[in-house]
Structure 1
Amino acid sequence: MRHFDRRASAGLRASVHRPPTPDADEDREPEPTLQEIINIKLIESGEKERLKELLRERLIECGWRDDLKAQCRAFTRKKGRANITLDELVRSITPKGRAMVPDNVKAELLQRIRSFLTTDPS
């Protein structure tokens, strides 16, 4: 025979239907990461667009853009133009393209970002 305590079961029944109490931490927006803060500063100042333009110029100057076009053409010829999707091409070429960016271009961009962060008044 089961022992049944009405007070205990009434309290349990009432708590089953009550929504959980939210934690104060759940109501707050998560703190932005350092990367997000830097990105916001770059966008708000217009520096991000200037850096993107500098990157475009440097990649064209060093021949990266032409090399990447050649990689795309070779991949397309290998697979057959009718047998390839844009997503497939992008997935295949992106890692190669990133690896082909010259170290001096990466270093120049990094230096420009560092300079921006150390001279930014905000």
Structure 2
Amino acid sequence: MRHSVNRPPTPDARDEQQKDTTLEEIINIKLSESGEKERLMELLRERLMECGWKDEMKALCRAFIKKKGGDNVTVDDLVHVITPKGRASIPDPIKAELLQRIRTFLVSAAH
């Protein structure tokens, strides 16, 4: 593909995605280095146990194992089936609380 002499090539979607991924990686590194990531993970664990999400996921796993037969189920099978259900069932207030904590961290890290 030839580019115009008068203007640079138009960036494609892959370039934008790479920039987003890089920003995500930077944020992840900052969260990890500061110890905030572990604090957020612990908060998430606590909130999910408080609302009964963890017990709900255990019940889903048990039901899947019972349906398929214990010898016919691998951990990969469970992860593949349960993960989408688990992510979709995290209560919105918990997501909002975590998002607010991340935003607060990013604002304080920027100063």
Q: Which of 38, 47, 60 in structure 2 is aligned with 1:58?
A: 47
Q: How does 1:82-121 map to 2 (within 5 A)?
A: 82-121=71-110
Amino acid at match of 2:61: C
Distance (whole Å) between structure 1 residues aligned to residue 75 and residue 36 of structure 2: 30
Cα distance in 2 for partners of 1:62, 1:79 equals 28
Mapped to 1, the partners of 2:72 and 2:35 lie a distance apart of 41
Which deviates further from its counterpart, 77-86 or 59-68?
77-86
**Identity score, percent:** 68
Partner Cα distance (2:104, 2:110) in 1: 12
**Deviation per residue, 1:47-74 (Å, 9 max, x gap):** 0000000000000000000000000000
The 3-state SS of whatever aligns with 2:84 is: helix
Work out which of the residue numbers 25, 32, 37 in structure 2 matches 1:43.
32
Partners of 1:33 and 1:86 in 2: how far apart? 31
User: Secondary structure of 1:101's partner?
Assistant: coil
Once residues 121 and 34 of structure 1 are traced to their aligned partners in structure 2, the CA distance between those partners, rounded to angstroms, is 14
Bigger-Rg structure (1/2): 1
Over 6 Å off, 4+ runs: none
SS of aligned partner of 2:97:
helix
Alignment: residue pair count: 93
Q: Flag structure 1 segments of 5+ consecutive residues without an equivalent.
A: 1-29
What RMSD over aligned residues (CA atoms) do the two structures have, in Å? 1.6
Q: By how many angstroms is 1:121 displaced?
A: 4.8
- In the superposition, the TM-score normalised over structure 2's length comes to 0.79
User: Which protein, 1 or 2, shows the higher relative CO under an 8 Å CA cutoff with sep ≥ 6?
Assistant: 2
